[in-house]
Chain A
Amino acid sequence: MTAVTPAPPSAAGAPAPTDAAPPNRPGGRSRLPAAAGFACGAALLFAVAPLALSDFRLALLAKYLCVAMVAVGIGIAWGRGGLLTLGQGVFFGLGGYAMAMHLKLADAGPGGMPDFMQLYGQLDELPVWWRPFASPWFALPATVLLPMAVAFGLGSLVFRRRVRGAYFAILSQALAAAMVILLIGQQGTTGGTNGLTDIQGFFGYDLDDPVNQRMVYFIIAGVLLALLALARQLVHSRYGELLVAVRDSEERVRFLGYDPASVKLVAYVVAAGMAGLAGALFVPAVGIISPALIGIVPSIEFVIGVAVGGRATLLGPVLGAVAVAWARTALSERFPGTWTYLQGLLFVVVVAFLPGGLASLWALARRRGAERAEVSTS
């Protein structure tokens, strides 16, 4: 073959010198920079941002951070697992609606009905499926568990039947469309196109009070950091390695004795749970959840943020999601109507020229730097 002379297998069992293998370096990552990065992020979110930003901007940031939570999940499912989920809006919506239903019922008081039901529904009493949401002990876990359960059901069907690639993407998108149609069709009990609006209180705190809005921001920032820590653990665990293996060569993994369907299912369910939590926190931050916020277009926008940031990295999706959401607001303020085109352009540019997202620029710069250093020393 070539000039490569490989060390032949020591078939006789003679122990070969093992000097080259550095022990205890799992994946070659150390913990210190991660901890430092985490501390930096916490300082930015908890100290710099609240001091530097006006209440209005901070509320916007809270909204972006919710989008970033969805992005963390997509980073796992798509970036690591190769599952292009174009329907995360469904899970975001399930979480959001579960939270909004509880808050609406809390606003209405014991035995009361949400205002919109009296307006369009002519209902005499609360629909049966609304009732459990009156209890925070049901509603809060439901914001996460409901999306996870739906993802589990759908994922079990789809992955076992080996639906993948574009077919999976289309299917997940169809689910988002179906959910929107369902919500709009059931106007009397879901609020229809308007969604659930005008949410006043959040567990006894008045959401109109800027102090309480700040508290909501801090909760969101804390949850995002926790999700990032969870994602990091997941990605660096054996499961994380297995997920990449399934993404790159599903058949081979099957021949190793794993069921790739279960491996993908876990990633999908985790991503759904994160999207659900994001939706739940979005509601107190913004005060509304509606079909327009969870349909096909927002679902695609979630993915665009992840693609722009760099789907296979841990922080890329978060930064990409925040950057895209921020750019959207900034540009819409100045040049209304241009954003849609710019967003499309951004997506095309990233997919065509920078498939690794902005995060790959960082890696590229480091490699360039290393090469330059090598050249200058030699």
Chain B
Amino acid sequence: MNDDRPDGLSVRDVRVSFDGFTAVDGVSLEVPAGDIRFLIGPNGAGKTTVVDAITGLVRATGSVCFGDQELLGRPVHRISRLGVGRTFQTSTIFEELSVLQNLDIAAGARRGWASLARRRRGIPDDVAAALETIGLTGRADQLAGTLAHGQKQWLEIGMLLVQDARLLLLDEPVAGMSHEERDATGALLETVSRDRTVVVIEHDMDFLRRFARSVTVLHAGRVLSEGTVAQVQADPRVQEVYLGHPVETGSVPSGLEA
């Protein structure tokens, strides 16, 4: 895979409808390479659906390009092989397998069938590097199901790293994490974004203020506002959507969790 030129994500006029209900109504986004973009918005704004559309989980119209590759219309596993990786709101690691096996499987989609037929010997370099990055080197042989909540999320991110995803789409990565875990996750995102593009769906405003490089606010399937954290927070439309009326900037919007 090419590492010399990290690619940006370009979403143009994407629409998704389910049985007549329009969940995403013409969303356009430009996420430059190396960005950490936060997608926020009230429940039902269409954040996860946008990610679903990008990764091929739901049908969409419009255009989604990663680098110079059009993603819409391709099956999920092909999109993944183009370097697009995602996590889900609920942890989806393989709980019955060890941490090492989880990472090894994530690394394996580019391997040939011949290597699949063999047994794993030792720890591949890319897997070792990912273990190091996510801080789970000492737990490589532990069953993934027995990890703490935060560690499971890091394992998810580690799987995206060995998968060689160059665009990471993370759906609420710090939900349910302690403060220390959030800090560690933020630092991890910063490391990861050096040679990758990161898009994060998140409700945690404190986390957003500290780690977002840019923010897109969705509301009712459309882009409401976009810019830096300060710009978005100053936008009266954003405050209205979140709190029902304009308020001072800087207060933490409440009532966002389901």
Contact = CB atoms under 8 A, between A and B. Distances in A.
Given A16-B132, A24-B122, A241-B97, A258 B117 contact: no
B220 interface: no
Contacts of A248: 94-96
B157 to A, nearest CB: 8
Interface residues on A, range: 35 or more
A211 to B, nearest CB: 39
Contacts of B81: 257
A36 interface: no
A256 B104 contact: no
A9 B188 contact: yes
A20 B119 contact: no
B10 to A, nearest CB: 21
B150 interface: yes
A219 B134 CA distance: 52
Contact of B180 (A5, A239, A242, A258): A5
Interface residues of B, number: 63
Interface stretch (B27-35, B106-114, B201-209, B232-240): B106-114
Interface in B206-221: none
A248 B98 CA distance: 13
B80 A256 contact: yes
A334 B75 CA distance: 58
B105 interface: yes
B249 interface: no
A256 B105 contact: yes
A5 B148 CA distance: 9
Nearest to B179: A1
Given A238-B115, A238-B118, A8 B180 contact: yes
A245 interface: yes
B77 A259 contact: yes
Interface string A114-155: 000000000000000000000000000000000000000000
Interface stretch (A25-33, A39-47, A48-56): A25-33
Nearest to A9: B135
A257 B163 contact: yes
Given A239-B117, A241-B101, A254 B76 contact: yes
Given A4-B148, A248-B95, A241 B80 contact: no
Contact of B133 (A4, A13, A28): A13
Interface string A224-257: 0000000001101111011011001101111111
Contact of B188 (A5, A11, A28): A11
A375 interface: no
A352 interface: no
Contacts of B13: none
B191 A27 contact: no
Given A1-B178, A13-B133, A248-B95, A255 B86 contact: yes
B88, B119, B121 interface centre (most CB from chain A within 10 Å): B119
A258 B183 contact: no
A25 to B, nearest CB: 7
Contacts of B5: none
B92 interface: yes
A178 B61 CA distance: 43
Contact of A241 (B104, B133, B180): B104
Interface string B143-184: 000001111001000010001000000000000111011011
Contacts of B110: 257
A23 B105 contact: no
B109 A236 contact: no
- Which 8 pairs from chain A and chain B are nearest by CB? A257-B109, A8-B184, A11-B187, A20-B138, A257-B80, A9-B135, A239-B116, A1-B178
Given A10-B132, A17-B138, A238-B115, 8 more contacts: A20-B137, A21-B140, A237-B118, A238-B104, A238-B120, A242-B116, A244-B97, A258-B108
13 contacts: A1-B148, A1-B149, A6-B184, A9-B184, A9-B187, A10-B132, A11-B133, A11-B191, A26-B121, A248-B94, A252-B93, A254-B76, A258-B77
